[in-house]
Amino acid sequence: MKDEEKLYALFRSEIDSFVPELTKHLLIVEKEPDNTKSLEALMRTAHSLKGSAKILSFDLMINLSHAMEECFMAAKRGEIKISPELIDNLLHAVDEVATLNEAPSAELPSWIETHESSLLLLTSQIEKGQSELKKSSSEAVKDKRQGSIKATLEEQTLKVQAKELNKLMGLAAEAMVDSSWLLPYRESLLQLRLDQNTLLKELEELRAKIAGDLAKESVQSSVRELIQKTDSFYNAFNRRLTELDLFVRKNATLSTRFYEEVIQIRMCPFADLVEPMPRMCREIAQELGKSVKLTIKGKKRPIDREIIEKLKTPLAHLLRNAIDHGIESKEERERANKPLEGQILLEARQRGGMVEIQLSDDGRGINREQLERVLIESEVLSKKLTETMSEDELSQFLFEPGLTTKQSVSTLSGRGFGLDLVKESVRQVGGHIKIETKRGQGFSLTLYLPLTLSLLNCLIIEIGGQKVALPLTRIARAEIVNTKEIKYLDNRPYTITQKQTIHLVDGSKLLNFPQRSGASSPQKQIVVLQAADKMFGLIVDRLVDEKELIVQEIDPRLGHIEDVLAGAILEDGSLLYILDVDELIQTIERSLLKDEKGKEILVVDDSLTCLETLKERLQEEGYSVQTAENGVEALNMIKMKTFDLIITDLDMPKLSGVELVRLLRQSGPYKTLPIIVISNRERDEERRSLLSAGVDAYIGKSAIHGKEIINEVNRLL
Amino acid sequence: MDKDELIKGLKWAHPLLNRTPPPDYEEQCGRDFNLEQGTSYEGFVPLLIFRLYQSSFAIETKCLNKIIEQKQVFALPHNNNPELLGLINFDGQIKALFSLHRVMQLSEEGIDHKIPLVDEMPRMISLESDKDFWIFPVDEILGIFPCQSDKIINGTDDQTSLLKGLIKWGDYTSVALIDEEALCRYLRESVA
């Protein structure tokens, strides 16, 4: 990298810290114009920005930052009180500075060219605004001494790539895993010490035995020497063992601390997530003509950096919703005898092993009738069902894709998407959402999130001979089911335990793991997973352990692996997958739906009577049937959808059955697709020629009412 | 590059095999490859030669990251990619393991998997490309040897080929020299 590029990269990284600092303090000064601390922070930051721009000889930026600095200094000296209009211009200036970071390094000259006029305009607006305010505040105390700006030593920060941090995490975890090997090793040495002690005792016994005998003095002396040597070995071994003991303890503490420190690096304060919120709230409220106060609590609460990254957009969306949908207009609030200023509370707190982020407002809450109407109109729920549901239960449907109760679409919200994406983002980090609402009194939405994505309490199970883990919080229970208690409905197994119907699914089939052969057991181990209104029993080989797993990223080149949340490495170095329960439930539901629909058969015939007869007969057997009236229609359908079997007539318009068979057999994917021909031409010669052309069975049309056709279908499927 | 430098280069790569070079390695090397003192060996490249089923392959040692002992492979759920064998624990990271046998479209016909093909030191090799590792099991590591680059017989002009050409080595009349860049590119695309 050239020197100039290095300086530019450095400048950009500084802007990353300047922009939030300026924004934060400008919003404070807007509410508290005399807040000395914030004015000092603004002066410092504008000064630093000017200094950095000087290094790059970036004149436009020098002038802008100088104007900002002058403005803050004047306010600090009490010469002016920064007006809301000036705050607007200053915030626009900060936005303009921030756009520099969106431009690629190579495009700096073109960025300057594009932004020249706006930077000049903003500089002059700030200077003008400041001088106007100076005039109007002539009565202000002029000689207010400027307090000495104490350069506070801010905590230095260092930018580290997430990838590098993950590597460090992996190494720290590996070090901790490796150190745990020492403990069993120490145990084995302790056993060795016991064995040595036994040997010593046996030697003592031998000495006692031969002492009375007329054994030679030399033998007795040898035994004595042996005892002495063994004793001294025992003592030496003991000393070494004590040293090892000390090392094991020290190592365990160090590696655990090392890991914990690395985990801490992953943590960021909640403040990082909510930093842009006050300004966003101000602007949205301004645009909507509403008066809103946003209070943020728990800013110091540490949250996993990755969770913060994933929640930035969803949380901004929720705030927009709260201001747009939740908080009423000033007039509406007045009518409802509420304070004119709407209140929004954004709070982070820790409960047990989870972090809760709650966004609540004192707005209008959810309009039950309106929501019911939308749900019924969108055919999500029936009228009868909505009547039986509580307000909170109905509110859960706000997460349905495409659902909105807002009657008009604005630039802010009401497009009917967003909440489903919020739910998805929360799900991706292993959390869930709860809504509470009281009509006319407010709305509260709580995100329940794991404290860190690095550790997860899991149940380790074995499926298809391979270990996998399920997050404990997502498991309803684990139990053993006698095969006698397994019942079948439409060939689908289920059982009833604790008065609940549990649909059973084979774990190894579901995950496409290699099937293990072996005698079927009279009992099945199941892990019960709860979906919204159903219970699924995942049949597993066995339960292995319950453990806090160090979550590790799976080779990112593979992208998302269906049903897998993350990976983990056990103490013995073996891997396991941590399954994504929500996705797993979706896979189970899909697999059940597929089973329910049965095999798909396409019947092709230009005779509607024949089509209907066959359709009815096959459906009675549990097959799913689609029909086509000629070969062309059939060919198009086959290209669009996968069928398990084709039954076709021979004589049809547009494309005959013979042509259809020929085309299918030419094409790779359909070479092995079972095909049955039904025809009025029942001559042996024709039958033979079709069978040799790749048709699997040939049946006379007169036989479609008989058992032969069903037998052939069953045989081929 | 003179004889000593070339042998030094070969010795450098040797620890990757987890084998100590035999005491007479330098002498043997000089003898096997007719290396003479004072001669220039510019254009010699050290190659790692290994076996997949009954075929032998070579790859330049410059792209080698590591040679490791065989590790337990963990099947991936819903895996439809036959070239992706599963995942392994690679230095504390969970990494994908690929089948070079399948990438090279080697026929499994006549291979009896019950009889271990690996009669000595089964290994996995890890190639490094753009800070990415591509790991494969191999049936046997045959060694690291120098090869004169002008002795490589260009096999094909096919842009999609994963081979640079063929080389002659000892009793093996044709050892396929893998184009490491093309191989890594191919794998990158196959998992994309």
For residues B147 and B167, the answer to whether their CB atoms sit within 8 Å is yes
Query: The tokens of B45 are what?
Result: 């490249």
**Cα separation, B33 vs A421, whole angstroms:** 65
CB A33 within 8 Å of CB A80: no
Determine whether the interchain pair B94/A575 forms a contact, defined as Cβ–Cβ distance below 8 Å. yes
Q: Which of A648, A696, A512, A680 is nearest to A591 (CA)?
A: A512
Instruction: For the beta carbon of residue A272, count every other beta carbon within 10 angstroms.
Output: 16
Residue of A515, A558, A562, A581 for testing the chain B interface, max B β-carbons within 10 Å: A558
Strand partners, B169: B172
Does the pLDDT at position B65 exceed 80? yes
- Is B6 domain-assigned? no
Contacts of B94 (CB under 8 A, 6+ apart): A552, A553, A554, A555, A567, A569, A575, B87, B88
A111, A98 in Cβ contact below 8 A? no
Cβ distance A557 to B75 less than 8 Å, yes or no, reads: no
**Chain A residues with CB-CB distance to B91 below 8 A:** 170, 174
Which residues of chain B make contact with A586, given a CB cutoff of 8 A? none
Chain B residue set in contact with A, beta carbons under 8 Å: 72, 74-79, 84, 87-89, 91-96, 132, 188, 191
What is the pLDDT, as a whole number, of residue A710?
Answer: 83
Closest CA to A538 of A547, A530, A550: A530
Query: Which residue, among A249, A259, A246, has the nearest Cα to A175 in the 3D structure?
Result: A259
d(CA A188, CA A182): 10
> How far B89 CA lies from chain A's nearest CA (Å)?
7
CA A471, CA A448: separation in Å to the nearest integer? 14
DSSP of B24-77:
THHHHHHHHTT--TT---TTEEEEEEEEETTEEEEEEGGGEEEEEE----BPPT
Q: What is the mean pLDDT of each run of 10 residues along chain A (717 residues)?
A: 62 80 87 86 85 77 87 84 85 85 70 80 82 60 39 53 73 74 82 88 86 74 87 88 86 82 82 87 89 92 84 86 88 90 92 83 85 79 76 74 52 51 80 81 87 81 92 88 83 83 88 67 88 83 87 84 86 85 85 68 85 80 80 78 84 79 74 83 69 78 77 79
Predicted local confidence at residue A463, as pLDDT: 92
B172 confidence band (pLDDT: 50, 70, 90): low
Q: With CA atoms as reference, report the closest residue to A697 among A714, A706, A705.
A: A714
Q: List the single residue in B75, B78, B94 with the smallest CB-CB distance to A567.
A: B94
Chain B partners of A173 at a C-beta cutoff of 8 Å?
A: 92
Q: How many domains does chain B have?
A: 1
Tell me: ipTM over 0.95: no
Taking each helix axis as running N to C, give the angle between helix A108-136 and helix A59-76, from 0 to 180 degrees, rounded to the nearest 10.
Answer: 20
Which H or E run contains A505?
strand A500-506
Given A171, A464, A552, which is nearest B94 (Cβ)?
A: A552
Cα nearest neighbour of A556 on chain B:
B95
Asked if residue B19 is part of any domain, the answer here is no
Task: Indicate if the alpha-carbon torsion angle A304, A309, A312, A315 is positive or negative.
Answer: negative
Partner B contacted by A181 (CB < 8 A): no
And the tokens for A706?
A: 């008989």
Q: Which of A444, A419, A473, A457 has the alpha carbon at shortest distance from A357? A: A444
Whether B77 sits inside 8 A of A554 (CB atoms) is no
Contacts of A110 (CB under 8 A, 6+ apart): A103
The Cβ of residue A686 has, within 10 Å, a number of other Cβ atoms equal to 15
**Residue B184, domain member (yes or no):** yes
Cα(A159)–Cα(A150) distance, integer angstroms: 26
- CB burial of A439-468 (b: ≥16 within 10 Å; e: otherwise) equals eeebbbbbbbbbbbbbbbebbbbbbbebbb
Taking CB atoms and an 8 Å cut-off, how many pairs form between chains A and B?
65
In a domain, B165, yes or no: yes
User: What b-and-e string marks burial along A108-144, b requiring 16 or more CB atoms within 10 Å of the CB?
Assistant: beeebeebeebbeebbebbbebbeebeeebeeeeeee
* Residue B16 lies inside a defined structural domain of this protein: no
The whole-angstrom distance between B65's CA and the closest CA on chain A is 17
Q: Which residues of A touch B133 (CB under 8 A)?
A: none
Phi, psi of A705, deg, nearest 5: -90, -15
Q: Determine how β-strand A500-506 pairs with β-strand A564-569.
A: unpaired
What is the arrangement of strands in the sheet containing A432-438, beginning at the earlier edge strand? A292-297, A342-351, A354-361, A442-450, A432-438
Write the single-letter amino acid at A621.
E
Token pair belonging to B71: 């590790």
pTM: 0.53
Round to whole Å and give the CA distance between A631 and A636.
Answer: 9
CB pair distance less than 8 Å for A174 and B92: yes
DSSP class of B80: -
Do B77 and A167 count as a contact with CB atoms less than 8 A apart? no
Strand ordering across the sheet containing B132-138: B64-69, B123-129, B132-138, B93-98, B84-90
Q: Is A707 on the interface with B (CB under 8 A)?
A: no
Domain that holds residue B155: 39-191
- For residue A504, what is the enclosing H or E element? strand A500-506
CATH number at residue B57: 2.40.50.180
Q: Identify whether B17 is part of a domain.
A: no
β-bridge partners, B45: B147
List the single residue in A with minimal CA-CA distance to B132: A557
| Three-class SS state of A548 | strand
Chain B residue with CA closest to A579: the answer is B77
Distance from CA of B126 to the nearest CA of A (A): 14
Hey, CA dihedral for A83, A84, A89, A91, is it positive or negative? positive
Alpha-carbon gap, residue A296 to A286, rounded angstroms: 19
Asked if A561 is an interface residue toward chain B (Cβ–Cβ < 8 A), one would say yes
| Interchain contact A512–B (C-beta under 8 A) | yes
Task: Report the pLDDT value the prediction gives residue B137, as an integer from 0 to 100.
Answer: 92
B94·A511 Cβ contact <8 A: no
Rounded Cα distance, A473 and A459, in Å: 10
The CA distance from B83 to B105, in Å, is: 10
Q: What is the spatial distance between Cα A506 and Cα A494, in angstroms, rounded to a whole number?
A: 11
> Which has more pLDDT, B41 or A77?
A77
In a domain, B80, yes or no: yes
What are φ and ψ of residue A22, in 5° steps? Answer: -65, -45
DSSP class of residue A277 equals H
- Mark yes or no for CB contact B93/A511 under 8 Å: no
| Residues in Cβ contact with A419 at an 8 Å cutoff, skipping those fewer than 6 apart | A317, A321, A398, A399, A403
Q: What is the token pair recorded at A477? A: 């229970």
Identify residue A278 by its one-letter amino acid code.
P
For A103-129, the DSSP string reads S-GGGHHHHHHHHHHHHHHHHHHHHHH
Instruction: Please tell me which residue of chain B has the smallest CA distance to A553.
Output: B94
Does residue B138 form part of some domain? yes
A101 touches A15 (CB < 8 A): yes
User: Mutation test of the interface with chain B: which of A167, A541, A557, choosing the one with the most B Cβ atoms within 10 A?
Assistant: A557
**B28 phi, psi to nearest 5 deg:** -65, -40
